[in-house]
Amino acid sequence: ETGVTQSPTHLIKTRGQQVTLRCSSQSGHNTVSWYQQALGQGPQFIFQYYREEENGRGNFPPRFSGLQFPNYSSELNVNALELDDSALYLCASGWTGQAKTQYFGPGTRLLVL
Amino acid sequence: AQTVTQSQPEMSVQEAETVTLSCTYDTSESDYYLFWYKQPPSRQMILVIRQEAYKQQNATENRFSVNFQKAAKSFSLKISDSQLGDAAMYFCAYRFLGGATNKLIFGTGTLLAVQP
């Protein structure tokens, strides 16, 4: 167990809808990152939040947005869902220090129909 | 741009035997970490082993060890005395230390089957 939790575990949406995924970080961590893992692929970095601000983003459009709360929980919001958004969404929490690694949650499986 | 390549989509090993998973990466940076993560069917990404690029000594964690060849940009994972519980998808990942984020760049994974 990594101490990182995500909800829900599974979700089904239709194209054009909006979705919010949630992550609760391990106690003491000050960064939260989100990754998208398409079937049969490695995770792709969406963005990272540090001190409630987005401080880095991968190659994802603005309809992917997020929030980080003072208790280091986080949300990933995706607007105008597309079929290609179907994937496993992973959050990872960690520290900004160089000597540390990240700990992943179990993921949310999103299916867009 | 940094990239990570895993050229073995699937591997199989007999229980108690040794298997090596390959990974190559491309970067122009000198300060970075390399990781091997395990993802079982439960989907939880679990850190197996980590290597700091500045360290010449290969990292070891119990039955897991790496062969880190910095000049060749190669980072293979050796699993000794394979167990049924080792069956999973294994991902090699790279992290640049100079950026503002903890961004990991992953390979496409190697699915490891362990035969009893």
CB atoms within 10 A of CB B55: 10
Question: A15 vs chain B: nearest CA distance in angstroms?
Answer: 25
A34/B95 Cα distance (integer angstroms):
15
Q: What is the pLDDT of residue B3?
A: 95
pLDDT (0 to 100) of residue B99: 77
Q: Cβ contact (<8 Å) for B44 and A106?
A: yes
pLDDT: which is higher, B108 or A101: B108
- Is the pLDDT confidence value at B43 over 90? no
B103 to A55: CB separation less than 8 angstroms, yes or no:
no
pLDDT digits (tens, 9 = 90+) for B51-62: 999 998 999 999
Residues in chain B with CB shorter than 8 Å from the CB of A101 are 33, 35, 47, 50
Burial bucket for residue A53 (CB in 10 Å: 0-12, 13-18, 19+):
exposed
pLDDT value at B36 more than 70:
yes
Low-confidence ranges of chain A (pLDDT < 70): 1, 97-100
Q: Strands, DSSP E only, in chain B?
A: 3-5, 10-14, 19-21, 24-26, 32-39, 46-52, 60-61, 64-69, 74-79, 88-96, 105-106, 110-115
Mean pLDDT over the full length of chain B: 94
pLDDT of residue A4: 92
- How large a percentage of chain B has pLDDT more than 70? 100
Q: Left if phi > 0, otherwise alpha if psi is -120 to 50, otherwise beta: which for A64?
A: beta
Residue A52's identity, in one-letter code, is: E
